[in-house]
Structures are given as C-alpha cells and as structure tokens.
Amino acid sequence: MRVISFCTRFHAPTNRLSLFRRSHHKLIPPSSSSCFRNNNCSVMSGHNKMEQFDLSSNTVIDHPPALTDKITLTRDAGPSKFQVIADFDGTLTRYRVNGIRGQSSHGILQQGNADYDAKREALYEHYHPLEFSPLIPLHDKTKLMEQWWSKTHDLLIEGGLTCDAIKESVASSSIAFRDGVVELFEFLEEKDIPVLIFSAGLADVIEEVLRQKLHRTFKNVKIVSNRMVFDNDGRLVSFKGKLIHVLNKNEHALDMAAPLHDNLGIDIGVEDEENAYVKQRTNVLLLGDHLGDLRMSDGLNYESRVSIGFLNDNVEKSLESYREAFDIVYLNDAPMWGALELVSQLFPTEAS
C-alpha cells in the first residue's frame, strides 16, 4: 500500500513588485478598472498586472496605527521568524470565475459513481445548514461535523474513488487561483518562508489543483488537510492521520498532516522536526475569507499576527464584522497583489 502523489515540478518565472498601497479605513466604491473587476489580465506579465491595479479602492483598514506596529515588529524580527497561514477555497482561489461562482475543492470531486455522488450530496444538504446554525452549541456542532466528515470519507472509500477520478474532476472543473498567488508563493519560497495551507477538504485534491492549475509545486508549502491512501491500483483504501474538519482546522492540526513535498522524495522522517521548526516562527500572516479562518492560528503562541480577509460577497452586510476582525480587508474578489506587496515590504530583496 502506498500514498500516491500527483505533484510535478517545472520552472516558472519570478515577478516582483513595488510598494505597499496606501491604507484606507473607509469603504470606497469599487475600482473602475475593468481589468480588476473581471480578473481578465492573465495575458499580461505579473509586473504589468501589478501596475494595472489600484487596490486602494477595494481595501479597508480600520486601525492603521495598530497595523503599522505589527508590520514594524515583524520586519524587525526578520524572515526566519515569519510564516504564512492560508485558507484554500475562496482565499487562494477565486470566488468567481468568468462571472460565475467558482467551484471549491470539495465541490469539484466526482467519484465516477453517480449513486455515491448523490449520497454525498444528500449528506451536504443535511449537515451544511447545521454547520451555520446559531442554535447548536459548539460541542454538539463539533460532533455533527465529525459525523459529516466521517460519513463522507466512508462513501469515498466504499464508492471506489480512484486517482484517475481526482485528476478528471480537477481537469473538468472551473476552480482557479487568484492573480498573484504564484508570485506570492515564489517570493516566499525564495525567502525560505513556510506556507501552511489549511483546509478541511482533501489534501490530494488540493495537490492536483496545484499541479493542473499552477503547473508546479513549492518546497516551502505544507498542506494541513485530510490525506488519502491509495493501493497499487490507484484506489482509495483509507485516510492518513486524524480527521480534520471545519471546526478543528487550526495549528493544532499541524501534527495530523503530511507536507506537500513528502511525496516528492523528501525524507518524511524529518516531519516532526519540521513541524517544531514551523511552530518557532512566531510572526504570522494569516489569509482567509471567513471570520472562522482567524482560528487557524489557534495553538500557535504568536508574537504578532497580521490578518488579511477577502470579503468576496455580501459586502454591505458583512463589512463591519470583517473590518473589526481583520487587519486588512480586500473587497470584491480582489487579487493577491496586496498580500504580495505586504511581504515584499516586510522583507525586500536587495538589488544585485
């Protein structure tokens, strides 16, 4: 029995950018740039795309002095004390693709068995409203989420999910990364800064999305998610480690998951040492699109945390709670350029 990897590498060009945009603490109308609104700038180089966007029109910062203090502390500590923790769906990926709601890493998966796909959909219809019910105590809700995830995983095994089905599901999906994600990962890789992608989904699906949509992987990226185990015929037989669901998706789950590059030939015997090394990085940039994503840093005794929230929809309804919770809020499915500018300001690359 073996764990199957779908990851491949290839060299991708590195792009850089200039200065961090000015801060705004009041909501400003969306940018008039059609390129920004529609995310149709993929044919432009990364540098030219950065030049095109003025994120100030879609940026909300409620407490600029507090943010400045965090930036100063993080910069002074240096990159060796820094890490990035990121949600996947709706954070690294776009909320809308070609004007239509984009798919999630959960939603794209088709087992190749209509009966089992229907059973998983029925579980979603039953448990999803319970996940967001304000009437259910957290302890009881946690048990319900464990039931949902466990039943879903059982169906994936019983239904005979295969490696090929995962590849085909991703290939036919509309899931897409935000502009600037590749450049952000490249910058962090160059600086030896770890990126933890936290997901209550399936690590193998996320890896396949990275492989097909970004056409590469990164040695500094670690996926904290549920990992599958396949037999020699490529059929799912079990899951590795403890169950990670939406209510325990935090730094405590770090010890449950295997890094993305385990399956690229790196000795997994160093995993415990690597996890301890990550936990020593006490300055954090947290990226999320839900208020609950702020819990991803629970369990880490951080000194400073800069949080970026992507408010993709229902801006008028949700802005007040987002601006109070996150240090920086980007509106209207914004690209990742602002986060890239921030880390570039924190740890600039000296000109040769």
Q: How far apart are CA 138 and CA 144, in angstroms?
A: 10
Of these ranges, 16-20, 263-267, 327-331, the one predicted with the greatest mean pLDDT is: 327-331
Contact 340/348 with Cβ under 8 angstroms? no
Q: Nearest CA to 342 among 80, 58, 70, 131?
A: 70
The conformation of residue 220, written as its DSSP 8-state character, comes to: T
Q: How far apart are CA 229 and CA 235, in angstroms?
A: 8
Choosing from 89, 204, 289, 293, which is the catalytic residue? 89
Could you tell me the pLDDT band of residue 52, with boundaries at 50, 70 and 90? low
Could you confirm whether domain 114-160 is CATH 1.10.150.340?
Answer: yes
Could you tell me the pLDDT band of residue 314, with boundaries at 50, 70 and 90? confident
DSSP string, 97-150: ETTEEPPPTTTT---S-HHHHHHHHHHHHHHHHHHT-TTS-HHHHHHHHHHHHH
3-state SS class at 346? helix
Q: Is the pLDDT of residue 23 over 60?
A: no
Per-residue pLDDT of 177-231, as tens digits, reads: 999 999 999 999 999 999 999 988 899 999 999 999 998 889 899 888 899 999 9
Q: How far apart are CA 274 and CA 272, in angstroms?
A: 5
Contact 112/83 with Cβ under 8 angstroms? no
**What's the mean per-residue pLDDT of the chain?**
80
Q: Is the pLDDT of residue 113 over 90?
A: no
Q: Mean of the pLDDT values across residues 328-351?
A: 92
Sign of CA dihedral 35, 36, 42, 44: positive
Q: Is the pLDDT of residue 299 over 80?
A: no
Share of the chain above pLDDT 90, in %: 53
Q: What pTM did the predictor assign?
A: 0.77
pLDDT score, position 279: 76
Domain limits, CATH 1.10.150.340, in the chain: 114-160
Average the pLDDT over each of 160-164, 287-291, 325-329, 348-352 and give the range with the smallest value.
348-352
| H or E element that contains 59 | strand 59-60
Catalytic residue flag (residue 298): no
Choosing from 87, 179, 289, 333, which is the catalytic residue? 87
Q: Is the pLDDT of residue 24 over 80?
A: no
Q: How far apart are CA 251 and CA 198, in angstroms?
A: 9
Contact 15/46 with Cβ under 8 angstroms? yes
Classify strands 304-311 and 328-331 as parallel, antiparallel or unpaired. Answer: parallel
Domain limits, CATH 3.40.50.1000, in the chain: 34-99+176-346
Could you tell me the pLDDT band of residue 29, with boundaries at 50, 70 and 90? very low
The Cα-based distances of 34 to 30, 153, 210, 231 in angstroms read: 10, 42, 27, 48
Contact 58/30 with Cβ under 8 angstroms? yes
Q: Is the pLDDT of residue 137 over 80?
A: yes
The Cα-based distances of 242 to 94, 159, 203, 252 in angstroms read: 29, 21, 13, 11
Per-residue pLDDT of 244-285, as tens digits, reads: 888 888 766 666 544 444 443 334 445 556 666 677 899 999
Count of Cβ atoms closer than 10 Å to residue 305 Cβ: 17
Average the pLDDT over each of 13-17, 53-57, 80-84 and give the range with the smallest value.
13-17
Q: Mean of the pLDDT values across residues 115-137?
A: 90
Contact 74/345 with Cβ under 8 angstroms? no
Q: How far apart are CA 221 and CA 196, in angstroms?
A: 6
Name the phi and psi angles at 63, rounded to 5.
Answer: -135, 75
Could you tell me the pLDDT band of residue 110, with boundaries at 50, 70 and 90? confident
Helices in the chain by DSSP H: which ranges?
A: 34-38, 46-52, 64-77, 114-131, 138-158, 163-171, 181-190, 203-209, 271-279, 315-325, 337-346
Per-residue pLDDT of 38-50, as tens digits, reads: 333 333 344 455 5
Q: Nearest CA to 48 among 11, 92, 21, 18?
A: 18
pLDDT score, position 134: 79
Count of Cβ atoms closer than 10 Å to residue 158 Cβ: 13
Catalytic residue flag (residue 62): no
**The CATH fold of domain 34-99+176-346:** Rossmann fold (3.40.50)
